[in-house]
Structure 1
Amino acid sequence: MHRLEFLDLSVFVEVADNHSFNEAAERLHISQPALSRRIQKLEEILGAKVMERTTRRSRLTPVGRDFLPKARKLLEDYESSLMGVRELATYRKGVLTIACLPTAAFYFLPSVVREFNTAYPGIRIRILDVSANEGVERVVSGEADFGINMVSAHHPAVDFTSIYRDPFVLALRRDHPLAQKQCIEWGDLDDVRLITVSRDSGNRILLDNTLLSAGLHLDGFYEVQHLSTSLGLVESGLGVAILPSMAMPGAEHEVLCQRDLPEPRIDRTIGLLRRRGEPLSPIAELFIEILLKRWN
């Protein structure tokens, strides 16, 4: 029975990232035959193929795609275990991976990352800006140390801790006629072009369900996949959008502004996802401490 080694994992991740045996071999400073033997050995250990190789490129099999986040986590854990006691004590090195909603990753999270990097400049941060459902999967699989997600993201293997209620607001240009109103009514949106996100979005589902329970319905003129795209259309003067406040830029933005929505008020609960029964790493705890200070 073969024994899995650090280099086996390194070879696999390098090939997966570069989609090329040649490039991976050059980056790892090993011969291509030696690299191929490492992949073959890994496949023998797993009992399944992880790579499909063509003349020029390679791609992951379903087994390979499933194993990739596990391999990354094993490499990161191995790297952390090799740190000296002094480096661990002073947090000079390490890797932190966060699965974060795109709406939080775009405007809010950078300020937290900046403060964290100022305090701990040797720690690398990977931000996986993914949907709510995918964020749960990344935490469950161990690819992410923790997640920033919505309360609707349920899974028996994770715990959710509420930390922030994020209200939905009306996003519009400062020169839009509705920007002159301090109190927006639902009827005000009848005569404007509304930009909405797709109906399979968690934010859209929450919005539609809340309005439906109040006997209200909004027709979108434009439909997009991502909230960041809707903001781009708003900024271009193509319409207005209803979206979480967290997705908005700060009050100092030259073009965009926001207005509160009337009753029924719509908000979503944002919080931290972590694997149930597993303690967070000291590095993750440090990051969350700074995040909570910013949020509160």
Structure 2
Amino acid sequence: MIERFHLQLLTAVDEYGTLTLAAEKLFLSQSALSHSIKKLEQQLGTPVWEKDGRKLRLTQAGRQILILAKRLLPQFEHTELLLTQIAKGQRGSLRIGMECHPCYQWLLKVVSPFLDTWPGVEVDVKQEFQFGGMRALYDYDIDVLVTPDPLFKSGVTFEPVFDFEQRLVVSHNHPLAKLEQIEPHDLQNETLITYPVEPQRLDIFSQFLAPAGCTVKRHRHIEATEIMLQMVSAGRGVAALPGWLVDTYAESLQLVSLQLGDEGIMKHIYLGMRNNDVNIDYIADFVRLAKQTVNQADKA
């Protein structure tokens, strides 16, 4: 019935539109591809594609197979990569996706001992501001997701690592620095500097400003944490960042962090993994080191 080759073929036809280009992509002859698909169509009792001028268009049956292909092919590739690495004496690879943009410096403290402990594991970090973390996990683009906003869905496990408070950051001579805590209306005339993320995904908007029917005078995007804090220090705006991150720069940049509202905004950092990967030894050890790094920082 349906084999991996069929999945690859329909994926290539969907991407390139013609049998000629699909054959070139797969390094096979058109006749071999045509024969293989005709045999599959006979087995299924329905066509998987039809001609649309010079191009091929997938039928309803073909589109269903394509959905299967997009789910299974990345898993094949991921497993083959791991097996190849094991055969070469390596242990595998750990691809980390970052949805917590300020967490990069914390991650460095985890990666350093991990690399010492697991010399045969390659590590890669994807820090993308429009990063679709759950989709990347399901599609095997990453192996671990660092996020403050987990989506608890089937097939994925989230391990809590540490808690933090989201706080407003201002320059030491900013008028707001004299307040004990910040209320939503206090920010109506302020320039708010954030990472380039949609407002609905930012806690300062979703949990603080929007429920009170308030907004800011101006919203600016800056990607680099250090530049963002320099701008705040220079009085060019305010920002909402984890308290532990602000504490790192507070003295050198003369920054003040303030509680947001009566109860503050409390957050958690989680590590997300596919259920099938939780017991892989080096992934489990990465989680252990992540928690251990936090505990050591707390004791210090």
Q: TM-score, normalised by structure 2?
A: 0.62
How far apart in 2 are the matches of 1:254 and 1:70? 51
What's the offset of the Cα at 1:284? 0.7
- 256 and 74 in structure 1: CA distance in 2 versus 1, 3 angstrom threshold: farther
Match of 1:19 in 2: none
Question: Where in structure 1 are there 5+ consecutive unaligned residues?
Answer: 17-31, 49-62
Match of 1:96 in 2: 94
Match of 1:223 in 2: 219
Question: Where in structure 2 are there 5+ consecutive unaligned residues?
Answer: 16-22, 41-47, 50-64, 296-300
Q: Which 10-residue stretch deviates more, 160-169 or 74-83?
A: 74-83
How far apart in 2 are the matches of 1:201 and 1:138? 18
Match of 1:37 in 2: 28
How far apart in 2 are the matches of 1:251 and 1:270? 20
Match for 1:193 among 191, 201, 207?
191
Return the structure number with greater helix share: 2
Aligned residue pairs, count: 256
Cα-Cα RMSD: 4.8
Match of 1:115 in 2: 113
Three-state SS of the structure 2 residue aligned to 1:144 is: coil
Checking the alignment, whether the CA contact within 8 Å between 2:118 and 2:282 is kept in structure 1 is: no
Equivalent residues in 2 for 1:126-141, closer than 5 Å: 126-130=124-128, 134-141=132-139
How far apart in 1 are the matches of 2:145 and 2:117? 21
What's the offset of the Cα at 1:292? 0.9
Letter paired with 2:80:
Y
How far apart in 1 are the matches of 2:25 and 2:213? 62
Letter paired with 1:37:
L
What's the offset of the Cα at 1:265? 0.7
Q: Which 10-residue stretch deviates more, 106-115 or 282-291?
A: 106-115
Residue 232 in structure 1 maps to residue 227 in structure 2: yes
How far apart in 1 are the matches of 2:251 and 2:115? 25
Three-state SS of the structure 1 residue aligned to 2:163 is: strand
How far apart in 1 are the matches of 2:113 and 2:130? 25
Three-state SS of the structure 2 residue aligned to 1:274 is: strand
Checking the alignment, whether the CA contact within 8 Å between 2:101 and 2:129 is kept in structure 1 is: no
Checking the alignment, whether the CA contact within 8 Å between 1:107 and 1:246 is kept in structure 2 is: no
Match of 2:104 in 1: 106
Match of 2:154 in 1: 156
What's the offset of the Cα at 1:77? 2.1
Q: TM-score, normalised by structure 1?
A: 0.63
- 205 and 162 in structure 1: CA distance in 2 versus 1, 3 angstrom threshold: farther
Match of 2:163 in 1: 165
Q: What is the aligned-residue identity percentage? A: 15
Checking the alignment, whether the CA contact within 8 Å between 1:103 and 1:247 is kept in structure 2 is: no
